[in-house]
């Protein structure tokens, strides 16, 4: 026998700056020229962001001699797919991109996750720069290096850790954000206060009336508040990632509200935006923490009061509590047990033996969910078909391309909930085809790997 050992001990410095500055988008190109992360750049963006900011970003890159091209994908979660990754890589190739070419992710979390993953994969990895344009992407997805795309059977199922070379945050761009996307970003932002920083929670309480609306024409002092909010959230995210990049333990605290929230998203077929689902999840998690006597009633009410003031956490999920809990168990972070992140006071996560993922009993979770009245606990699949059902409008893309409909075969390993959802979709699709409508893409009823 012969044995060859390949020793590969690595010490890599992946440190980077996250700059938050109004108007920084205008300085992006000149800064990239001095930083020399890459010889030239391809901007990846979506159609809407391209319309809003694509031209000015590309023009300034062109002036600096840095623009190799622009790739524009459609708006929405559907662009987070492997086929889009392939198309982007092929376009990079035809633009002449090589290993010295950088990718600029200009957009929200969808573009950030897709372009980041394209950068991680193209020619085994090229430099990436994140330029987030939604609140959610600013405070969360652009920082920390998690990139990836969805599979029809589940969200974020394929991905990588690919840290950007720099993150450029220009709060000015938030002015054009739709109200629902602002709210979604707010849900993710208040979470940071709940898990780590009581004074940030108090900041949100103090300024809730202003922060609940999209800042259309803020005064200079109000801009300061927005910048402070973004900066404080980003600081917490950066601190957590620095201590636990690969989510061994501490990074799990960022999933507060998410184990519940992912199921809220899933059971709404992703019609509920992520931040709103997280806010609902925070209400469920806090109710559970109170039931387990970790969290006082006063703190529980205080959390829910702020969420209400911000217009968050209002969504009622349609479906059965037992299905909901079954899906929580399937969440990738729970490894079969039911584990959730809980707070024991606003600003502090509960720990057991130094771990932040707290094992909880499913019967207690079911009881809490029942009392919360946040799930209607009605068997939707058993209900007579209603034409306005949201499932019908977001029918899975895998069934939408052919003109003659035949029911897909039952996927192996399908859960009870997945089966109900599939059957609902099949019925909806059948109805749609009988009415001669056309389907739109969407995710299948699979799992979720947190972003």
Ligand X SMILES: NC(=O)c1ccc[n+]([C@@H]2O[C@H](COP(=O)([O-])OP(=O)(O)OC[C@H]3O[C@@H](n4cnc5c(N)ncnc54)[C@H](O)[C@@H]3O)[C@@H](O)[C@H]2O)c1
Please choose, from the candidates 353, 351, 333, the residue with its C-alpha nearest in 3D space to the C-alpha of residue 342: 351
* Bridge pairing between strands 17-20 and 166-169: parallel
Please choose, from the candidates 446, 424, 314, the residue with its C-alpha nearest in 3D space to the C-alpha of residue 380: 424
Nearest distance in Å: CB 275, ligand X: 7
Catalytic annotation present for 188: yes
Residue number, nearest CB to ligand X:
109
* Bridge pairing between strands 40-46 and 67-73: parallel
> In this complex, which beta carbon is closest to ligand X, that of residue 32 or of residue 186?
186
> In this complex, which beta carbon is closest to ligand X, that of residue 146 or of residue 422?
146
Distances (CA, A) of 69 to 72, 142, 166, 167: 10, 21, 20, 20
Of the candidates 258, 420, 422, 432, the residue annotated as catalytic is 258
What backbone torsions phi and psi does residue 216 show, to the nearest 5 degrees?
-80, -50
CA–CA gap between residue 133 and residue 119 (Å, rounded): 19
Catalytic annotation present for 350: no
Catalytic annotation present for 251: yes
Catalytic annotation present for 293: no
Of the candidates 70, 262, 420, 422, the residue annotated as catalytic is 262
> In this complex, which beta carbon is closest to ligand X, that of residue 356 or of residue 448?
448
Cβ proximity of 170 and 27 under 8 Å = no
> In this complex, which beta carbon is closest to ligand X, that of residue 79 or of residue 91?
79
In the three-class reduction of DSSP (H, G, I as helix; E, B as strand; rest coil), residue 69 is classed as strand
Catalytic annotation present for 427: no
CA–CA gap between residue 276 and residue 282 (Å, rounded): 10
Of the candidates 70, 146, 327, 422, the residue annotated as catalytic is 146
Of the candidates 237, 327, 350, 425, the residue annotated as catalytic is 237
Exposed (0-12), middle (13-18) or buried (19+): which is 116, by Cβ within 10 Å?
Answer: buried
Catalytic annotation present for 262: yes
Exposed (0-12), middle (13-18) or buried (19+): which is 451, by Cβ within 10 Å?
Answer: buried
Of the candidates 274, 283, 290, 425, the residue annotated as catalytic is 274
CA–CA gap between residue 441 and residue 295 (Å, rounded): 41
Catalytic annotation present for 33: no
> In this complex, which beta carbon is closest to ligand X, that of residue 183 or of residue 420?
183
Nearest distance in Å: CB 430, ligand X: 29
Distances (CA, A) of 226 to 127, 208, 346: 29, 11, 21
Nearest distance in Å: CB 216, ligand X: 12
> In this complex, which beta carbon is closest to ligand X, that of residue 169 or of residue 321?
169
> In this complex, which beta carbon is closest to ligand X, that of residue 140 or of residue 269?
140
In the three-class reduction of DSSP (H, G, I as helix; E, B as strand; rest coil), residue 310 is classed as coil
Residue in the block written with tokens 């652009």: 142
Nearest distance in Å: CB 411, ligand X: 23
For 349, other C-beta atoms within 10 Å of its C-beta total 19
Distances (CA, A) of 298 to 139, 287, 305, 340: 28, 12, 10, 21
Nearest distance in Å: CB 271, ligand X: 13
What backbone torsions phi and psi does residue 415 show, to the nearest 5 degrees?
-80, 170
Catalytic annotation present for 258: yes
Catalytic annotation present for 124: yes
| Binding-site ranges for ligand X (CB under 6 A) | 46, 48-49, 52, 75-77, 80, 107-111, 113, 133-134, 136-137, 140-141, 144, 146, 156, 173, 176-177, 181, 184, 274, 451
Catalytic annotation present for 246: no
> In this complex, which beta carbon is closest to ligand X, that of residue 52 or of residue 61?
52
> In this complex, which beta carbon is closest to ligand X, that of residue 101 or of residue 133?
133
**Rounded to the nearest 10 degrees, what angle do helices 416-435 and 321-330 cross at?**
110
Of the candidates 77, 188, 265, 276, the residue annotated as catalytic is 188
Nearest distance in Å: CB 186, ligand X: 11
End-to-end alpha-carbon separation of the chain, Å?
44
What backbone torsions phi and psi does residue 356 show, to the nearest 5 degrees?
-95, -20
**DSSP, residue by residue, 165-208:** SEEEE-GGGGGG--HHHHHHHHHHHHHHHHHH-HHHHHHHHHTH
Nearest distance in Å: CB 99, ligand X: 24
Nearest distance in Å: CB 87, ligand X: 18
Nearest distance in Å: CB 383, ligand X: 29
In the three-class reduction of DSSP (H, G, I as helix; E, B as strand; rest coil), residue 416 is classed as helix
* Positions marked catalytic: 124, 146, 188, 237, 247, 251, 255, 258, 262, 274
């Amino acid at each position: 026998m012969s044995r060859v050992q390949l020793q590969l001990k690595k010490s890599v410095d992946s440190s980077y700056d996250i700059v938050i500055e109004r108007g920084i988008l205008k300085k992006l190109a000149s800064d990239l020229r001095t930083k020399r992360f890459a010889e030239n750049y391809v901007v990846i963006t979506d159609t809407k962001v391209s319309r809003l900011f694509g031209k000015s970003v590309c023009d300034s890159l062109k002036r600096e001699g840095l623009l190799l091209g622009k790739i524009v994908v459609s708006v929405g979660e559907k662009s987070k797919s492997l086929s889009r990754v392939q198309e982007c890589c092929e376009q990079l190739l035809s633009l002449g991109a090589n290993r010295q070419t950088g990718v600029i992710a200009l957009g929200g979390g969808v573009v950030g996750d897709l372009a980041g993953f394209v950068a991680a994969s193209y020619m085994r990895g090229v430099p990436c720069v994140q330029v987030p344009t939604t609140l959610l992407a600013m405070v969360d997805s652009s920082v920390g290096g998690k990139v990836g795309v969805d599979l029809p059977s589940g969200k974020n199922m394929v991905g990588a850790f690919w840290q950007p070379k720099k993150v450029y945050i220009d709060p000015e761009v938030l002015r054009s954000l739709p109200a629902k996307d602002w709210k979604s970003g707010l849900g993710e932002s208040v979470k940071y206060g709940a898990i780590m920083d009581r004074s940030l929670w108090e900041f949100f309480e103090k300024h809730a009336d202003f922060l609940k609306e999209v800042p259309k024409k803020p005064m200079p002092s109000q801009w300061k508040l927005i910048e402070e909010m973004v900066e404080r959230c980003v600081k917490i995210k950066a601190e957590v990632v620095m201590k636990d990049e690969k989510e061994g333990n501490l990074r799990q605290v960022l999933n507060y509200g998410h184990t519940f929230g992912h199921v809220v998203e899933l059971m709404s077929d992703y019609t509920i935006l992520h931040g709103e689902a997280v806010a609902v999840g925070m209400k469920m998690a806090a109710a559970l923490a109170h039931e387990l006597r970790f969290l006082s009633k006063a703190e529980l009410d205080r959390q829910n009061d702020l969420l209400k003031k911000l217009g968050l956490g209002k969504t009622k999920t349609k479906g059965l509590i037992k299905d909901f809990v079954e899906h929580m168990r399937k969440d990738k972070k729970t490894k079969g047990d039911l584990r959730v992140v809980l707070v024991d006071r606003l600003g502090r996560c509960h720990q057991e033996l130094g771990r932040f993922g707290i094992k909880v009993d499913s019967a207690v979770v079911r009881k809490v969910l029942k009392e919360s009245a946040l799930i209607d606990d009605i068997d939707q699949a058993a209900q007579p078909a209603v034409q306005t059902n949201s499932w019908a409008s977001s029918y899975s893309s895998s069934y939408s391309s052919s003109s003659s409909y035949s029911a897909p075969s039952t996927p192996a390993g399908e859960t009870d909930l997945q089966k109900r959802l599939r059957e609902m979709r099949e019925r909806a699709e059948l109805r749609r085809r009988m009415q001669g409508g056309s389907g739109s893409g969407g995710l299948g009823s699979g799992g979720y790997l947190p972003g």
